[in-house]
Amino acid sequence: LYKINVLHLHLSDDQGWRIAIGRWPRLTAVGGSSEVGGGPGGHYTPEEYGRIVAHAASRQVTVVPEIDMPGHVNAALASYPALNRDGTAPPRYTGIDVGFSSLCANMPITYRFVEDVVRELAAMTPGPYIHIGGDEAGSTPPADYRTFIERAGRIVVEHGRFPVVWAEATAVPLPPGAVAEYWDTAVGRDSLDQAVRAGVRVVLAPANRCYLDQKYDSGTPLGLTWAGPTSVESAYEWDPAGYGVPDDRVEGVEAPLFSETLATMGDIEQMAFPRLPGIAEIGWSPWAAHDWSSYRRRLAAQAPRWEAMGLNFHRSPEVPWP
């Protein structure tokens, strides 16, 4: 609909593991049975995931699966005691804190785990990328972090894919063809500058512009505020060329929508629309053609289509809806 050609699926986190891995069945039996707030969780079977990949391919959309490591792994650690340094599984986690869990970089079982997960994901996903995370690994010692990211990146390459990482991971040498995703505007552009120096390709997803899980304004009932609020205009009025990345290394833009505080598809639709079309337009149109005044009128003209589709879009007062 809006020329978006990549679907990035964040398939693991502290609160849940969302994709079945045949050699590690407890990842979903245990790790997939929790979610933020204490609900039942859930996961994709290989068949369900395959249908997503096929549906995306029929619309020329590439799926990029992410298994976030070495942090954000409490669901995996809760599933398998052997992945823990002390051999004791932590309880499942349903809160929203970050930076407390970590895989152990000096344990052989860690890399058997990574190898199995990457191999099965590569078999299920025909696209060229596998995302290995790398963000918010606050409890991973720096030397262990470096060891892990280097080895996990090599494993991805061994399975014929390019690794994608959150921009923090560019502190570590990455294989040729790696892609870094810039997101954390709360701490400035250090990780982005680091990615530029590393010479990797960059996906721009500045959280204060692109994160669709942020409130539209202070009165919005849904959403978070750590990078926002982010109005419809703010999500549209930014230039990827203004972030200091050489043009030939800008891989694209992304509009992440983390759903830990969203309960229904209607909630997701309300947070995505009407901001998503503007971020998509930034990805394929020249900055010189951008004009908020004309864009808001073009955006308003989408309302009848969304209504016909049954989308629960947010009727922002910034847009002159019909």
User: Residues with catalytic annotation?
Assistant: 136
**Secondary structure letter of residue 305 according to DSSP:** H
Residue type, 209: R
Helix H or strand E encompassing 119: helix 108-124
Cα angle for residues 4, 7, 11 (degrees, 5° grid):
160
Structure token digits, residue 204: 């721009």
DSSP 29: H
Angle made by CA atoms 5, 7, 10, in degrees to the nearest 5: 160
Nearest 5°: CA angle at 195, between 245 and 291? Answer: 30
> Which residue type does 95 have?
G
CA distance 178 to 209: 24
